[in-house]
Amino acid sequence: MANANIAIWISIFSFASSLLVVLITSAVTLASKKIDAQQKKDDHNHALRTIFIARKVEAAESAIAKWTTHLKHWVVIKSIYEDMKSGLSSLYTPVEVEFRKQRLERVTARSEAASFTENDSFYLYFDAEEYHLFDKTSKSEFYKLKKDINISADKSNNALDLYRKAIENEEEDLKQALYGDYVSSLDAYYAKIEKVIHLIDAECKHLRANCTTLRQHMRAYDL
């Protein structure tokens, strides 16, 4: 009888030991799978983070390049306007004035091509509110001034032509009146150029600030 009880207890302990081994093995397997799953998740997140940073750096590099190009164009545009201003007062010929107008059109077109579009990837990675972009109001003002300046230049040249003819014909009374018209048209022309130069100066200041801000932001990703 005693031997039978011992055999039963041995069987029970053997079964319990086997069950414990199975439970431990299962727990270890589950823990291992959980660790593997977490590792895969971490690896996936790390890969996504790496891609995100790479694309963010690429967007920043593209933005700096565009802003720098845009800034260079604005500087050239400003110099053309300053040249046109001094040129008209120096009595440039209509051909010379027209040449400067055409050059201005070409540079302005390149500047427009260098500006941001609404689908630019920059907006996916950076808060647009932190950066000054040449908005529709500023663009509208610039192109209106540009058009007005061309009209004023034509008026000044026409007034100058009439004044010169009055001098040639020795029409003293008419000469004085036409000279007054020429000076008035020239003043209006200068005033519009000063406005557009002020607008360009403000835009250049914003572009330089944008480059500085973005470079500081990207220092966090320096290796």
Domain with residue 139: its CATH number is 1.20.120
Range(s) of the domain holding residue 213: 60-221
Sorting pLDDT into bands at 50, 70 and 90, what band is 93?
A: low
The yes-or-no verdict on residue 128 having pLDDT over 80 is no
pLDDT in tens, 12-36: 666 666 666 677 777 677 777 777 7
Burial annotation 96-130 (CB, 10 A radius, 16+ → b, else e): ebeebbeebeebbeebeebebeeeeebeebbeeee
Whole-number Å distance between alpha carbons of 198 and 8: 102
Matching residue, tokens 């891609």:
51
Per the structure, how many domains does the chain have?
1
81 located within any domain: yes
Q: How confident is the model at residue 110 (pLDDT cuts 50, 70, 90)?
A: low
Cα torsion angle, 44, 45, 51, 54, sign: negative
Start-to-end Cα distance in the chain: 79
Average pLDDT over residues 62-66: 85
Mean pLDDT of 45-74: 84
| Residue 74: how many other CB atoms lie within 10 Å | 22
